Structure 1
Amino acid sequence: MTAGVVGVVLVSHSAEVAVSVAELARGLAGGGPLAPVEPAGGAPDGGLGTSAERIAEAAARADGGAGVAVLVDLGSAVLTVKALLAEGDTLPPGTRLVDAPLLEGAVAAVVTASTGADLDAVEAAAAEAWDYRKG
């Protein structure tokens, strides 16, 4: 992978959720330069859903040259990202769908990416969020 920083894209069926999770992740990563974080939420008409175009645009904006980690909320978001990845030329090189919970995974991904870690480390940190216990 080329030098640069890993970007993070947050895909939700709700534009508001995607924006809020991005803001929270940025805020909790705080201090120092942050990795690019872009929300991609909602359907093209502004309602609930997913949009391949919004995801592709967010990935292009988040591309910092070292890959893009894409975290999603629910089923059709997964399918949309997988379809974009299968097309092969719609998303930036090094874009990867990350199997992680959206909120906790986003925080871990942004914090890790902001340290200059590579895409494998960002993916691993986000995936570890599955193990966060709250009780």
Structure 2
Amino acid sequence: MTGPGTGAALVGVVLVSHSARVAEAVADLAQGLAAGGPVVSVAAAGGTDDGGLGTSASRVLAAARAVDRGAGVALLADLGSSVLTVKALLLEDELPPDSRLVDAPFVEGAVAAVVAASTGAPVAQVAEAATEAYAYRKT
């Protein structure tokens, strides 16, 4: 896949949650709100290997590999052990090149990341857009 006029691959996005249903719902929401641009690879990595609540390193790794198009992978995680799982995979150099854990609110950050990736932004700008979602106030 290529970004608008860049000829470069688009950044992939992985949503890591303790719940498969939450990860899938947020992925659907983010993709739906970013519609109209190039299709960005987004993968949900939620729950344990046996379908329970928790985090699975093998699911995260498979999701990251599935969305990797050579431009980097932005990973957003919901809670404690999902963050630790991504950090461990990064530390062990298991994830695709230019993968990064993004410190962002899960839902708002996911939408911002997918929208930014849809424009052909590099992984650093995708991460920055997701992080900026912390500034979105609701009051």
- Give the alignment's TM-score, normalised by structure 1: 0.96
CA distance in structure 1 between the aligned counterparts of 2:106 and 2:135, rounded to whole angstroms: 13
CA contact (8 A) 1:5 1:116 kept: yes
CA contact (8 A) 1:34 1:110 kept: no
- Give the alignment's TM-score, normalised by structure 2: 0.93
2:130 matched to 1:120?
Answer: no
Cα distance per residue 1:59-85 (max 9 Å; x no partner): 001102100000000000010000000
How much does 1:104 deviate? 0.2
CA distance in structure 1 between the aligned counterparts of 2:98 and 2:115, rounded to whole angstroms: 19
Q: Compute the RMSD of aligned alpha carbons.
A: 0.7
CA distance in structure 2 between the aligned counterparts of 1:131 and 1:45, rounded to whole angstroms: 37
CA contact (8 A) 1:13 1:73 kept: yes
What SS does the aligned partner of 1:11 have?
strand
Q: Which runs of 5+ in 1 are unaligned?
A: none
The letter for the 1-side match of 2:58 is E
CA distance in structure 2 between the aligned counterparts of 1:32 and 1:22, rounded to whole angstroms: 16
CA contact (8 A) 1:34 1:114 kept: yes
Cα distance per residue 1:75-103 (max 9 Å; x no partner): 00010000000111x21011100000110
**Count of residue correspondences:** 132
2:55 matched to 1:50?
Answer: yes
2:16 matched to 1:11?
Answer: yes
Which aligned pairs between 1:66-81 and structure 2 lie closer than 5 A?
A: 66-81=71-86
The letter for the 2-side match of 1:120 is A
Q: Which runs of 5+ in 2 are unaligned?
A: 1-7
Cα distance per residue 1:27-56 (max 9 Å; x no partner): 000112121100000011101000000000
